[in-house]
Amino acid sequence: MPGDVVIRAAGLTKRYGEKLAVDHIDLEVRAGEILGILGPNGSGKTTTILMLLGLTEPTEGRAEVAGFDPLRDPLEVKRRVGYLPDQIGFYDGLSARDNLAYTGRLAGLARREIDDRFEAAMVRVGLPEYGRARVGTFSQGMRQRLGLAEVLMKEPSVAILDEPTTALDPHSTQEFLEMIRGLKADGTAVLLSSHHLDQVQSVCDRVALFNRGRIALAGSVTELAGRVLGGGHVIDVEARGGDVAGWLAAVPGVVRVQPLGLGPDLYRVDCRIDLRAEIARHLAGEAELLGIRFAAPSLTEVYNRYFEEARDAA
Amino acid sequence: MPLRERRGSPWTGLGTVIAKETADHLSGVRMVVIEVLVYLVALVVAWFSTTTIRESIGESPFLFLRLLTTAPDPIPFSFLGMVGLVTPIIAIAFGFDAINGEFNQRTLSRILAQPIYRDALLFGKFLARLLALTIALVSLWLLVLGLGFIRLGLPPGFEELIRMLGFLVATIAYGGVWLALAMLFSVLFRAPATAALAALGMWLLFTLFWSVLVTPLLATLIAGPSEGILGPSVAYAETAQILNRLSPETLYGDTTLALLQPSTRALGLVFVSQLRGALLGAPLPVAQSFLLIWPQLTGLIATTIVLFVIAYILFQRQEIRA
């Protein structure tokens, strides 16, 4: 169960000259919670992360991370936060151990702690035999794992992971997502920025959708589906014969009908309440109903629908 | 928004950065190659210099200073000339990728996400490089001193040793100027090659063109022609001297001249009236020589500090996203 609030932002704003990069965002993340932050490039995700880390100063507003103000106490914040940047870089000429020992010393760890934690972290990320290997010989996936090992070595209260699975193959991605769940199990609050919506949906407790520097939507995927897809219930219908889409749209309470694209007879129906029985009754005699079932609301659909509507509104 | 003062020492992590960066430089291939080349050339120069000096051993009381300043046959430059040439190059080689290298390796955001301020990172990098440069120069200095001792069969006199130490300090300060400049360009330019070329360009400007092209041109524009009706123009000469002293090359050249040529009595314009009573050619006491070079030495150190401060301000203003 999520615990105390460890990340709190109130009215956090960042301007670069005339450009408003982050516009008065409010945010809360609790210990043991995974918050996914989503949004198109340039929507303010990375700037928000940098402000939370104390790497850039907010123009307005306040933040508190692990009980400290990143602007006033950046060193205390950084002692408690593990950060995995996108496209992580290491000193290629040094071994994995030397790279992590350097950041470990900067983090104030004693030599013994560095040795113990390094071994444990390397086992946890699946690289136990690569401690003495030069990082220059590592694949991008191994670098990502090594970056996560660095986060683990700090035993942080907060982990900020920026596009952590970009360079990973599907199998490694699943392993990586499992490691992120492991952080949650340790009680670490995780801020996960990613464009891979299915991955975000699979590990995150809540998501925050960034658009033009603001958090446009925040909540669980089910809550967002309720707000964006107009219902909260998504029903997949397989039926053939006549104008099935038209008949489905005519059912009272149906918000939206769209072909699923997986076959000619598959439709996805968004509705406010469970309408499976009404749909079955409505189609009886009009079309041949082959199947009807609940579908989990998809974050991808929420995301796409939100930005379609935002584009239409603009 | 009210100003909120940041807490924690700006030097947190400074020692860690210095240790890591110094180790990188002392063990790196770049450093080893440069050192081997410099040591070889220095040994050859010192060997031939001692051969020349041994043939005229009774002519000067400052044998070890001659070891540094004699350009022996068949080598066209002295040890001093070699050091003056390679010190800026080594310093530039150390500094040109100090910060942009971190950007390009995408290590900067990872490092600055640790509990360390940018102050400590930049200052640590500078001190580590200066330390590596100092180690290289001290070992070179000891090497030549030892070779001179063996080949000449005499230890250096106390005054000679003090002058040679002063020369070492001035050389480190001179290297510091070029190191700070190279690091400034490493903050300014994202491409290391651009930073290296810009620094080398500045070095060429001050080494080859400043005193022969830039100074005469500017001095003429400011103070008129170099020759007046009654002979050389004093206003021109004074302006040219001020302009020349904007060059670290001139400051270093003046410093080493006064330290390694004890008979040097002045570093600027000297009128005949000022020489009344002077024993021309007689060596100046070492304390007087140090008084003579004090402004130049201070100028070199001040230039290093100014360049570092500019780099520091620019680095503080940069957005860290890599």
Cβ of B7 within 8 Å of Cβ of A103? The answer is: no
Give me chain B's average pLDDT, please.
90
Residue A85 forms contact with B (CB below 8 Å): yes
How near does any CA of chain A get to the CA of B156, in Å?
43
Q: pLDDT, tens digit, for every residue of B60-103? A: 778 888 888 888 878 888 889 999 999 999 999 999 999 999 99
Q: Is position B8 within any domain?
A: no
Give the integer Cα–Cα distance in Å for A98 and B42: 35
Nearest CA in chain A to B118: A55
A69 chain-B contacts, CB cut-off 8 A = 4
Q: pLDDT, tens digit, for every residue of A222-247? A: 888 878 876 667 888 999 888 888 88
Cβ of A75 within 8 Å of Cβ of B115? The answer is: yes
The ipTM of this complex is 0.86
**Greater model confidence, B78 or B185:** B185
Residue B283 has pLDDT above 70, yes or no: yes
Residue A165 forms contact with B (CB below 8 Å): no
User: Is residue A211 within 8 Å of residue A310, measured between CB atoms?
Assistant: yes
Give the integer Cα–Cα distance in Å for A27 and A7: 7
Q: Is position B76 within any domain?
A: yes
Cβ of B109 within 8 Å of Cβ of A55? The answer is: yes
Residue B148 has pLDDT above 50, yes or no: yes
pLDDT at residue number B3: 54
Q: Is position B2 within any domain?
A: no
pLDDT at residue number B4: 60
User: Is residue B105 within 8 Å of residue A88, measured between CB atoms?
Assistant: no
Q: Is position B155 within any domain?
A: yes
B107 chain-A contacts, CB cut-off 8 A = 89-91
Mean pLDDT of B119-137: 96
How near does any CA of chain A get to the CA of B183, in Å?
19
* A contact residues 269-308, partner B, Cβ 8 Å cutoff: none
Below-70 pLDDT ranges, chain A: 1-2, 230-232, 262
Cβ of A69 within 8 Å of Cβ of B4? The answer is: yes
pLDDT at residue number B2: 47
Best residue of A106, A138, A144, A150 to probe chain B, by most B CBs closer than 10 Å: A106
Cβ of B113 within 8 Å of Cβ of A59? The answer is: no
User: Per-residue confidence at B114, pLDDT binned at 50, 70, 90?
Assistant: very high
B3 chain-A contacts, CB cut-off 8 A = none
Residue A8 forms contact with B (CB below 8 Å): no
Domains of chain A: 5-224 (3.40.50.300), 230-296 (3.30.70.100)
How near does any CA of chain A get to the CA of B315, in Å?
12
pLDDT at residue number A231: 61
Q: Poorest-confidence range of B267-271, B287-291, B293-297?
A: B267-271
User: Is residue A224 within 8 Å of residue A217, measured between CB atoms?
Assistant: yes
User: Is residue B180 within 8 Å of residue B301, measured between CB atoms?
Assistant: no
Q: How many domains does chain B have?
A: 1
Residue B285 has pLDDT above 70, yes or no: yes
B109 chain-A contacts, CB cut-off 8 A = 55, 83, 85
Give the integer Cα–Cα distance in Å for A314 and B5: 41
How near does any CA of chain A get to the CA of B314, in Å?
14
Give the integer Cα–Cα distance in Å for B273 and B275: 5
pLDDT at residue number A100: 97
Q: Which residue in A81, A85, A106 is closest to B116 by CB distance?
A: A106
Give the integer Cα–Cα distance in Å for B83 and B69: 11
pLDDT at residue number A111: 94
pLDDT at residue number A43: 92
Residue B1 has pLDDT above 50, yes or no: no
Best residue of B5, B6, B108 to probe chain A, by most A CBs closer than 10 Å: B6
User: Per-residue confidence at B46, pLDDT binned at 50, 70, 90?
Assistant: confident
Cβ of B20 within 8 Å of Cβ of A83? The answer is: no
Cβ of B105 within 8 Å of Cβ of A90? The answer is: yes
Q: Is position B6 within any domain?
A: no
Residue A66 forms contact with B (CB below 8 Å): no
DSSP chain A: ---SEEEEEEEEEEEETTEEEEEEEEEEEETT-EEEEE--TTSSHHHHHHHHHTSS--SEEEEEETTB-TTT-HHHHHHHEEEE-SS----TTSBHHHHHHHHHHHTT--HHHHHHHHHHHHHHTT-GGGTTSBGGG--HHHHHHHHHHHHHHT--SEEEEESTTTT--HHHHHHHHHHHHHHHHTT-EEEEE-S-HHHHHHH-SEEEEEETTEEEEEE-HHHHHHHHSSSSEEEEEEEESS-HHHHHHTSTTEEEEEE-SSSTTEEEEEESS--HHHHHHHHTTTSEEEEEEEEPPPHHHHHHHHHHHHHHH-
Q: Is position B213 within any domain?
A: yes
Q: Which residue in B4, B17, B320 is closest to A55 by CB distance?
A: B320
pLDDT at residue number A154: 95
How near does any CA of chain B get to the CA of A73, in Å?
5
Nearest CA in chain A to B319: A56
Q: Which residue in B1, B28, B114 is closest to A103 by CB distance?
A: B114
User: Is residue B104 within 8 Å of residue B73, measured between CB atoms?
Assistant: no
Q: Which residue in B6, B319, B321 is closest to A72 by CB distance?
A: B6
**Greater model confidence, B274 or B12:** B12
Q: Which of A5, A17, A7 is nearest to A54 (CA)?
A: A7
Domain housing B258: 14-317
Q: Is position B4 within any domain?
A: no
**% of chain B residues with pLDDT over 90:** 59
Q: What is the pTM of this model?
A: 0.87
Q: Pseudo-torsion of CA B293, B297, B300, B305, nearest 10°?
A: -150
pLDDT at residue number B220: 92
Nearest CA in chain B to A87: B106
Q: Which residue in B106, B117, B321 is closest to A89 by CB distance?
A: B106
Give the integer Cα–Cα distance in Å for B61 and B154: 11
Residue B279 has pLDDT above 80, yes or no: no
Residue A220 forms contact with B (CB below 8 Å): no
Residue A143 forms contact with B (CB below 8 Å): no
Residue B322 has pLDDT above 80, yes or no: no
pLDDT at residue number B291: 94
Best residue of A75, A135, A160 to probe chain B, by most B CBs closer than 10 Å: A75
Residue B282 has pLDDT above 90, yes or no: no
User: Is residue A247 within 8 Å of residue A285, measured between CB atoms?
Assistant: no
Q: Is position B251 within any domain?
A: yes
The strands making up A19-30's β-sheet, listed across from edge to edge, are: A19-30, A5-16, A60-65
